[in-house]
Amino acid sequence: MDSVTQAALGAAIGGAVLGQRLGRKAILIGAVLGTLPDLDVALDYGDAIANVTEHRGFSHSLFVLTGVATLLAILCARFASVTSVSLARWWCFFTLILITHPLLDALTTYGTQLFWPMKVAPTAWPIIFIIDPAYTLALLIALGFGLVSLRVKKACTWGLAISCIYLAMAAGAKLTVEQRLAPALAEQGLEEAPLLVQPTPFNIVLWRATVVEDDRYYESLVSLFDNGHEPTFEPLVRNVALAAPSLMSQQGQRLAWFTGPFLRYETRWLNHKQTLIATDIRLGFPGFHPFSFTLATLEDDVWVPLAVSEQVQTTRGLHLETLSRLAARAAGDTSALCASDYVAQQWRAERVVYRC
CB 114, CB 106: distance < 8 Å: yes
- The closest of 1, 41, 327 to 139, measured between CA atoms, is 1
Residue 319 in this model has a pLDDT that exceeds 80: no
- What's the pLDDT at 49? 97
C-alpha distances in Å from residue 121, one per residue of 55, 113, 178, 244, 278: 13, 7, 23, 20, 19
- What's the pLDDT at 148? 94
Question: Strand, coil or helix: what is 346?
Answer: helix
Q: Which residues of 315-333 are buried (b: 16+ CB within 10 A; e: fewer)?
A: eeeeeeebeebbbbbbeee
Residue 220 in this model has a pLDDT that exceeds 70: yes
- What's the pLDDT at 355? 55
- 96 vs 156: CA distance, rounded Å: 14
pLDDT tens digit sequence for 272-308: 999 999 999 998 888 888 999 999 999 999 999 999 9
CB 138, CB 159: distance < 8 Å: yes
Number of helices and strands in the chain (H, E): 10, 8
CB 123, CB 106: distance < 8 Å: yes
Cα 240 to chain centroid, rounded: 25
- 208 vs 10: CA distance, rounded Å: 29
- What's the pLDDT at 321? 82
CB 232, CB 334: distance < 8 Å: no
- 326 vs 207: CA distance, rounded Å: 10
- Domain ranges for the chain, please list them: 3-171, 188-356
- What's the pLDDT at 337? 85
- 117 vs 105: CA distance, rounded Å: 18
- 287 vs 317: CA distance, rounded Å: 9
Lowest-confidence segment of 22-31, 107-116, 209-218, 341-350 by average pLDDT = 341-350
Average pLDDT over residues 2-31: 96
pLDDT band at 352 (very low <50, low <70, confident <90, very high): very low
- The closest of 290, 200, 141 to 210, measured between CA atoms, is 200
- The closest of 109, 133, 129, 135 to 56, measured between CA atoms, is 109
In degrees rounded to 5, what are phi and psi of residue 223?
-105, 150
Kindly give, in sequence order, each residue whose CB lies less than 8 Å from that of residue 10, ignoring residues fewer than 6 positions away.
30, 31, 32, 33, 34, 35, 97, 100, 101
Mean pLDDT of the chain: 93
In what side-by-side order are the strands of the sheet with 206-213?
195-199, 206-213, 216-223, 234-237
